[in-house]
Chain A
Amino acid sequence: MNYEAVIGLEVHVQVKTRSKIFARVATGYGSPPNTLTDPVVLALPGTLPVMNKAALDAIIKTGLMLGCEIAPVCKWDRKNYFYPDSPKNYQISQYDQPICLGGAVEIELPGPARNIMGEHKKIPLTRIHLEEDVGKLNHGATDSLVDYNRAGTPLMEIVSEPAMHTAEEAFAYLTSLRQTIIYGGISDCDMEKGQLRCDANISIRPVGETKLGTKVELKNLNSISFVRDGIAHEIKRQLAVVAAGGTLVQETRDYDGQTGASQSLRSKEMAHDYRYFPDPDLMPVKVDDAWKARIRAECPELPFDKQRRFFEQYQLPYTLTSVLVPDHALSDYFEEAVKLGGKPQAVGNWIVNDLLRELGLAQLGYSAQIMRDSKRLTEEQITETGTFFSRKSEHPSLANIKIRPAHIAALVGLVEAGTVLNQAAKEIFTEMFTTGEMPDAIAEKRGLKATPTDSNELEQWCRESIAANAEALAEFKAGKDSAINAFKGPVMKAAKGKANPKLVDETLRRLLAGM
């Protein structure tokens, strides 16, 4: 019998707000333990939650970007369970009235080759709701330590329909979802920092069957490649169980990305009964059309829509769009350079090939410098200030490098006009990247412009070269086209190698035609 897998993903995304979802103390990653708390976060006796407006704006934005229906009214519920990372021993969440319903994530499956676009699909969503994150447990040999810094960070739970069938689809879903959320400025989705976390519900069923099979929940898929590998592994495991005549049990399994194996979390704890009820400390949320319209105006173009536009508007090849589009800032940078007059394909090439290479090198160099610096700091200085992580603003990025879209546009213009040659342009680019000077000035200063700039002088050199080589002239006239190359060497020599070969060729042909 043939089987198919059915996969649904539950993705938790931390919303990038300044303060926590129900308390006005800062959110953050990497701070010393228990330094992002207040009486509300610690659930001290007598404290009460107050909603964060920005977290609501963010989830509405997510919902609108993903085509969800935004509920006109939603409320908050308490999910009751005891765990040491949960300060109140209940989590404020949304049970039966989530803020976003439906919607879909557009995905792109791998194409037949890296440079060929793959098939697109829409994966439907069930719902998105908002809740609060819990603290963090650090497990020791004999006890555990609790840090509440993360507790109360706004968290979106994005639940897909069980509508995916392969690990590749799940991978593509997560990639696209992540990109969309980053595009919206809603979260940085850094999985290493736990800003995006993923659980998968996986089952198999005979092809043609419409009922879902026994569901296994796979946890701890804490990198995008672990999601792909973990799901692939689980599908294989389930098929093997069935092939061996076994029966699948509904369970939660823990995937270990290092070993590539999973193991059942045999619930030692008691059956869950979360005793959801409406939180009496919080008032309902009503979202009217004006609010939605305001947020809609802030929604960016979705990545795949932008890609389609780049194909159409700029005739860019897939290989360029697939680098430019996923990075919102990079695609903006590209469009800015084009707006300033740069030819799209040339601008795209400079950005994708040269700019990203130089930026990558600069980042590597910076990190190496930081590591050297850090050795000179005392341990205390490092932990106290979070030193090098807080020097983020200095870290080379598209936002702070000296080379701006205007530089790229100008360079493309110079090459286009034949003012500088390709090899010279590469040199100019490297210097622009370091100094931020405009390409024209660099070319001028370093003598990188094609010579002569005066066409009379070029014509003069060409005439001299033809006159000096009667043999070649005769050959050319006899119809041997390649004989023209014999005239080029002396011209190049006269130009000290900086003549534009295209221009030299044109000039020679014009003169030869008249002879």
Chain B
Amino acid sequence: MSAPVDLNIDHVAKLARIALTPEERAQFARQLGDVLASIEQLKRVDVSGVEPTAHAFPVSNVWAEDVPQPSLSAEAALRNAPAQRDHMVVVPKVVE
């Protein structure tokens, strides 16, 4: 199946923050092109006047009262952190 879809895989992979190898890039472009081509059939469906479904059983106003529960300790909060210092998560310097 050829892909009639303008999938700019480099742009999308950038948005998704995933580095692709040249092989992955070529393979994904082809595979996703196929998937998107098969999805094209949806354009045939008449959806005029149809409301989108965001939730299968929508209810409204689901909330909790404003009552705080105990915090995790800093140690527990950072237990799985790949790098930490002074009870904070270390990341490479962020250039704004």
30 sample A-B contacts, Cβ–Cβ < 8 Å, listed by A number: A24-B67, A25-B68, A25-B71, A33-B88, A34-B89, A35-B71, A37-B72, A38-B71, A38-B72, A42-B72, A50-B64, A51-B62, A52-B63, A54-B66, A75-B54, A84-B89, A139-B93, A142-B93, A143-B90, A143-B91, A144-B90, A145-B86, A145-B89, A146-B91, A147-B87, A273-B15, A280-B55, A284-B60, A286-B60, A286-B61
> In the bound complex, do residue A143 and residue B69 qualify as a contact, i.e. CB atoms below 8 Å apart?
no
> In the bound complex, do residue A17 and residue B77 qualify as a contact, i.e. CB atoms below 8 Å apart?
no
Interface assignment of A483: CB less than 8 Å from any CB of chain B: no
**Residues of chain A lying within 8 A (CB to CB) of residue B93:** 139-140, 142-144
Minimum CB–CB distance for B46 against chain A, Å: 23
Interface assignment of A278: CB less than 8 Å from any CB of chain B: yes
B residues contacting the other copy or chain, number (CB 8 A): 36
Q: Which residues of A contact B (CB under 8 A)?
A: 17-19, 24-27, 32-39, 42, 50-56, 73, 75, 82, 84, 137-140, 142-148, 265, 268, 270, 273, 275, 278, 280, 282-286
Interface assignment of B74: CB less than 8 Å from any CB of chain A: yes
> In the bound complex, do residue B58 and residue A283 qualify as a contact, i.e. CB atoms below 8 Å apart?
yes
What does DSSP make chain A's interface, helix, strand, loop or mixed?
loop
> How far is A270 from B60 in the complex, measured between Cα atoms in Å?
37
> In the bound complex, do residue A285 and residue B60 qualify as a contact, i.e. CB atoms below 8 Å apart?
yes
What 0/1 pattern do residues 1 to 33 of B give for CB contact below 8 A with A?
000000000000011010000000000000000
> How far is A143 from B94 in the complex, measured between Cα atoms in Å?
7
What does DSSP make chain B's interface, helix, strand, loop or mixed?
loop
Contact of A73 among B59, B60, B64, B86 (CB under 8 A): B60
> In the bound complex, do residue A24 and residue B94 qualify as a contact, i.e. CB atoms below 8 Å apart?
no
Interface assignment of B73: CB less than 8 Å from any CB of chain A: yes
> In the bound complex, do residue B94 and residue A144 qualify as a contact, i.e. CB atoms below 8 Å apart?
yes
**Residues of chain A lying within 8 A (CB to CB) of residue B77:** 34-35, 37, 42, 148
> In the bound complex, do residue B54 and residue A280 qualify as a contact, i.e. CB atoms below 8 Å apart?
yes
Counting chain B CB atoms within 10 Å of each CB, the highest count among A17, A37, A278 belongs to A37
> In the bound complex, do residue A19 and residue B67 qualify as a contact, i.e. CB atoms below 8 Å apart?
yes
Q: Which chain A residue lies CB-closest to B92? A: A143
> How far is A283 from B15 in the complex, measured between Cα atoms in Å?
27
Interface assignment of B51: CB less than 8 Å from any CB of chain A: no
> In the bound complex, do residue A25 and residue B69 qualify as a contact, i.e. CB atoms below 8 Å apart?
yes
Interface assignment of B39: CB less than 8 Å from any CB of chain A: no
**Residues of chain A lying within 8 A (CB to CB) of residue B86:** 33, 145
> In the bound complex, do residue A34 and residue B78 qualify as a contact, i.e. CB atoms below 8 Å apart?
yes
